[in-house]
Structure 1
């Protein structure tokens, strides 16, 4: 829109200036004016020429004033053309570089695809190697664990062998001591027993202390006979004592005891022991048959009868021990047993059934009193 306004203004301005120049030339011609001593006619021509030049100058000035593009095109056209040529050259160079880059990129893509295809089996091989390495690591760990376990088992076996050797040496010493009669306490032998039923758990400590004192007195008397029992030679683990206290604090009747942990020789200064606790129970009731045996007719010699009676009593003792008795042996009337043996010797006809019966009711810690009789 501004271009059309500029053209319109130029046309109007040219027309006005042409009219003014024509009139000015006519007036100068009519007035017969002279410039620079020229003839009036020539002066009128000069005025007309100057007027036309002014029209052109004004038109050009107005166009330059109004149109920046015209100014740039008129005064900066060469530099713009130079920049345009330079830009075109750079564009061509950039296009060439772009084409080269595209070609290189295509080659790189093809190379990458080729490398991927070449890398795929290597990747699979690497995965296989990784899996193999993990398997080998697991195998090594398993072997290490087996080696450690084998070493631990070997150490245990060595310890067992060492312990067995020590035990063998101890057994040899015990055997020598037994032959010499120097073993006064055997392993597992009872030193003291008691039957307790606590109404108050606080009484447990006093009961255990009294039991340990009795056991220490028994051990001292047997190990160091003739000496005054003025010190503690019995050693019982504190953890075992605490466990014993916990058990007997529970409701019920308990039979508690202290046993020797090892064979003890006469004259030793320390006796190792351990507590034993079990619920109190009835071992035998009155007139209960504990064992039976048959004496055949050909077993009527005194020696055979003595052997049979000993075996019968041993069977009865094994039965009460199986039931949980803490007694070290059976109690019986020796005279009555001798009279029974004499009567069996004199009775020569037929087989005879014998039995061992309990004379009275006996609990776990009580001695078991028995009698041997002919079965009715």
Structure 2
């Protein structure tokens, strides 16, 4: 193998060198415009290139024949080798015939002769399978044929060979058993690794779920913080308005609302008008305290908004209709006293549909009464209530229709005291006590430990 690689490398290097020399020689001949045999310079350069290629081929064959005896033998003596092989096979046939005649005279050595025959057949198969060992096998066959009469010696040699083969077979069997044992151990290790990987994947999935849950809670808290900041800004502005004047009607304050279902489309304008009248009466009483009878209109809304609202609720479904204030107004608003309809209002209608299913968790938090003081526990629960109210408003439920427990502060404070008395960490949840609709929601506070509800506000 090494000789062949060296030979190939030498041929490649020699070919590259001669090709380079030929190229440069042809280039110089072309540049010098030399001529041979009265040929033109270009023809002379072409002839030089052809001669260079011939030299490359000749040098390559010379190198191959000089270095490789097998190649010379294969090229020049192939027919002789084939004739020798044919003669050898004929001699082999004659030897087999001679062997058969000897078998008839060697009754006492039948067993030895059969063993020699098996050895001979094995040698024949080896001759057919291994061309590289052909010369050695033929020598062994001739030696076997010459020593056939010495059957006892051949028998002993066959026994030795059989013993060697038996030892090799035993060794191979032991190696096979060892490999099988190793394979079983590797399979066991592979199964153990797969179980560990599956367990790790499950743990990673659980951690991913926990991270996703915490990210969701974080987003909810961020939304709640943003909403509370907005509320803070609103309250600050309203506080400023209070300092500057006696504000009695606030922006986005609900003036009138109701669940409306119109079976006949023609009745929709009347339903809207009734809500507007209720809102008008309430506004008049707020702006002018002590007013009992309202004869003039003080609220202002465009006809287009009224028509749009009437068309919306004329579908025959349940709608929650609200009339809310569009701005802040003070007691004794000058325009109202002047008899003008100047209190801008907005009327909205949303389908009265299920927002939360019964038992659905609206908001949740965790407390550890043993590691927190009572004030922190109470603040966290109040923040949880604010978050639940915020989420309810975000889902479309009216602000003043979300009730916590029985809507009594005493009930919530009793629940907080129970939480503060606990000696174990608890998960506090706000859940829907019943199906919550757009028109209102009944929420309950529950304390959960390991999935079990310990106590609640219900």
TM-score normalised over the length of structure 1: 0.50
Which structure ranks higher in relative contact order (CA pairs < 8 Å, sequence separation ≥ 6)? 1
TM-score, L = length of structure 2: 0.41
